[in-house]
Amino acid sequence: MNTSRIKKDFPILKREVNGKKLVYLDNAATSQKPLSVVEKISDFYLTNNANIHRGLHTLSEEASEMYDEARENIADFFGAAKSDEIIFTSGTTESANLIAFGWGEKNLKPHDEILVLLSEHHSNFVPWQEIAKRKNAKLIVENIQPDYSYNFTEMYKKITDNTKLVVLSHASNVLGNILEIKTIINKCQKFNPNLRFFVDGAQAAPHLEVNLQSLGCDFYAISGHKMLGPTGVGILYIKKEIQNEVDPIKFGGGMIKEVYLDETTLKNSCEKYEGGTPNISGVIGMSEAINYLREIGMENIRKHEVELLKYFFEKAQDHEDMTIYGSMSPLERTGLVSFNIKKIHPHDLAAVLANEGVAVRSGHHCAMPLHKHLQIPGSVRASFYLYNDESDIDALFTAIDKARKILL
Amino acid sequence: MDIYREEFMEIYKNPMNQGKIEKASLVEHGTNEACGDEMDLYLKIENGKVIDAKFEAESCSVGIVSSAILTDEIKGKTLAEVKAFSKKDLLELIGVNLTTSRIKCATLPLETLVKGIEEYERK
């Protein structure tokens, strides 16, 4: 992959930080945006801006068409059977909440069970904990193995007739471990064919080819801003057959068929979940981000990140004081590495790296249950994307050397 | 001024007042939910005066240095004087430029102190 050409498409990567070249390795938090996405959003405001599906005037027609085309484009990219299965939310957090409260409120009964994994991001943990509490249902947390993997054979044994939902992350935001979603779903269904599956794809969709129909889940959540799109765009897949099991949680304009004084009928489409004026420019920008990714090819991005992981692990061998969390096999993980350096607090390390122009994340990465389990206050996470190259990893390791000199 | 200047790092590497006080008049636990830092603050109080202050912390350099400076500062002061000590006073004493995200690391010891004294006075 030609990273030097790709870097040129991202103007922010030219900037300096503290007089040093910016090395952006915080992509798991949010990715940078290519010029084409920024321009698409700005063009929309400069030439087409109007509310959608409400006006008969030219601008409204144009904006509506662009918004609907964006949904088609995104549905096609992720292999949904129809665009009506794609719902735009504000992000993965809202997507999980929509299913927790829109589906959970309607379908969970006392003593029902929800299965979740210990390593989940809070946004894919707390909504389930909360709805379980409200419905008197039980949240069952599957523990992680000492080698950072899950023993799914053990998890399958916990599935009973009371189990209603299995919650999985396609990839963890701390460990990066990629789950074989299709296989796990198939096996779970042998224990209970009526299960529903919610998959958090926030850390997988930006890095792997995702085909929703082939995965076989009922719900899949994607974070637009982690894959070159603007903030405020979540993509939630709800399988068409399941949509009658999920009530909207936002009521208002744009989602109704008819309103009478005593009754309201809702649209029978994805729009019933999108009450109010949606993030029109964001969705249109997101579609442009998808075009950019399609052009590069998800397969190429995946290969590139595996190469970067190999390079990172190779360099890490010379750093005996570095503890890496998660599988050491690049093929089993996405392009992120969480680690600690002995005797250096993750915040102090991240602060020295920041002084050197290297942007990483430090802390518990919104995964407190996992960090508590690992008995560490936090970790430092370097996460790669299509524009990163070996020189960025070199800069990271040089900055780590500097941190040792200052802090130890 | 850069937080990793020598004077600051000196305190971090050899912080004052680190440890426990046996039979302390006040023990308060503080946590910073945002980053997972934790600390215990120990105060020995006699006749309304702080006669000893110590801390134990699992924290970054900012938290350690701030705890060391704060415990040093309040020793010998009356509870009224300690209560008048503000966040601004503490940041001035630390004397380095902290980014917004690190200010919370520095103020955890003070928040823990305020909470501890409230508890102590209620008893």
Q: Which parts of A78-162 fold into alpha helices (H)?
A: 92-102, 104-107, 126-134, 152-157
Residue A87 pLDDT greater than 90, yes or no: yes
Residue A277 Cα to chain centre, angstroms: 23
Cβ contacts (< 8 Å) between B38 and chain A: which residues?
377
pTM > 0.90: yes
Residue B4 pLDDT greater than 80, yes or no: no
A406 CA: distance to closest CA in chain B (Å): 7
Span A300-309, mean pLDDT? 98
Give the CATH number, domain containing residue B37: 3.90.1010.10
Span B10-36, mean pLDDT? 92
What's residue A348's pLDDT? 93
Cβ contacts (< 8 Å) between B36 and chain A: which residues?
363-364, 368, 371, 377-378
Tell me the per-residue pLDDT of A27-64, one tens digit each, with 9 for 90 and over. Answer: 999 999 999 999 999 999 999 999 998 788 999 999 99
* Cβ separation A351–B35 shorter than 8 A: no
Q: Assess if residue B70 is contained within a domain.
A: yes
What's residue A298's pLDDT? 98
Could you write out the DSSP letters of every residue in B10-33?
A: HHHHS-TTBS--TT-SEEEEEEET
Chain A residue with minimal CA distance to B102?
A: A347
Rounded-to-integer distance, Cα A68 and Cα A278, Å: 12
Helix or strand or coil: residue B101? helix
Helix or strand or coil: residue A343? coil
What's residue B6's pLDDT? 82
Q: Name the interface residues of A facing B (CB cutoff 8 Å).
A: 345-348, 351-352, 355, 362-364, 368, 371, 377-378, 406-407
B33 CA: distance to closest CA in chain A (Å): 9
Give the one of B36, B61, B102 whose C-beta lies nearest to A364's C-beta.
B36
Mark residue A280 as left, alpha or beta (left: phi above 0; alpha: psi -120 to 50; beta: remaining). Answer: alpha
Mutate to test the interface with A, among B61, B97, B98, B104 (most CBs of A within 10 A): B61
Token pair 């400076």 is found at B69
Q: How many CB atoms lie within 10 A of CB A396?
A: 22
Chain A residue with minimal CA distance to B105?
A: A347
What's residue A372's pLDDT? 84
Residue B17 pLDDT greater than 70, yes or no: yes
Share of chain B above pLDDT 90, in %: 79
Chain A residue with minimal CA distance to B38?
A: A377
Q: Assess if residue B1 is contained within a domain.
A: no
Is the sign of the CA dihedral A91, A219, A37, A280 positive or negative?
A: negative
Q: Which parts of A15-86 fold into alpha helices (H)?
A: 35-43, 58-77
B82 CA: distance to closest CA in chain A (Å): 29
Tell me the per-residue pLDDT of A305-351, one tens digit each, with 9 for 90 and over. Answer: 999 999 999 999 999 999 999 999 999 999 999 999 999 999 999 99
Q: Assess if residue B114 is contained within a domain.
A: yes
What's residue A198's pLDDT? 98
Q: Give the contacts of A298 (CB within 8 A, at least 6 positions apart).
A: A207, A208, A209
* Strands A264-266 and A322-325, bridge-based pairing: unpaired
Tell me the per-residue pLDDT of A227-263, one tens digit each, with 9 for 90 and over. Answer: 999 999 999 999 999 999 999 999 998 898 999 999 9
* Cβ separation B37–A377 shorter than 8 A: yes
B76 CA: distance to closest CA in chain A (Å): 32
Cβ contacts (< 8 Å) between B2 and chain A: which residues?
355
What's residue B34's pLDDT? 75
Cβ contacts (< 8 Å) between B34 and chain A: which residues?
363
Instruction: Tell whether B6 lies on the interface with A, counting CB pairs under 8 A.
Output: no
Q: Which amino acid is at B47?
A: N
Rounded-to-integer distance, Cα A52 and Cα A64, Å: 5
Mark residue B12 as left, alpha or beta (left: phi above 0; alpha: psi -120 to 50; beta: remaining). Answer: alpha
Question: How does residue A201 score in pLDDT terms, banded at 50, 70 and 90?
Answer: very high
Instruction: Tell whether B105 lies on the interface with A, counting CB pairs under 8 A.
Output: yes
* Cβ separation B35–A363 shorter than 8 A: yes
Q: Which parts of A212-326 fold into alpha helices (H)?
A: 212-215, 280-296, 298-316
Q: Phi and psi for A196 in degrees, rounded to 5?
A: -110, 150
ipTM value for the complex: 0.84
* Cβ separation B36–A377 shorter than 8 A: yes
Share of chain B above pLDDT 70, in %: 98
Domain holding B33, by residue range, is 6-122
Residue of A385, A248, A197 whose CA lies nearest to A309: A385
Range with the poorest average pLDDT among A70-74, A327-331, B4-8? B4-8
Residue B56 structure tokens: 């134990």
Residue B3 pLDDT greater than 90, yes or no: no
* Cβ separation B4–A364 shorter than 8 A: no
Residue A391 pLDDT greater than 90, yes or no: yes
Q: Assess if residue B21 is contained within a domain.
A: yes
Residue B1 pLDDT greater than 70, yes or no: no
Query: Domains along chain A?
Result: 3-25+297-407 (3.90.1150.10), 38-294 (3.40.640.10)
Per the structure, the count of domains in chain B is 1
Tell me the per-residue pLDDT of A130-161, one tens digit each, with 9 for 90 and over. Answer: 999 999 999 999 999 999 999 999 999 999 99
Q: Assess if residue B103 is contained within a domain.
A: yes
Interface of B with A in 38-57 (CB under 8 A): 38
Q: Is A217 a catalytic residue?
A: no
Choosing from A188, A217, A270, A366, which is the catalytic residue? A366
Q: Where are the beta strands (DSSP E) in chain B?
A: 26-32, 37-46, 49-58
Tell me the per-residue pLDDT of B32-79, one tens digit each, with 9 for 90 and over. Answer: 877 778 999 999 999 999 999 999 999 999 999 999 999 999 999 999
A98 CA: distance to closest CA in chain B (Å): 25
* Cβ separation A351–B3 shorter than 8 A: yes
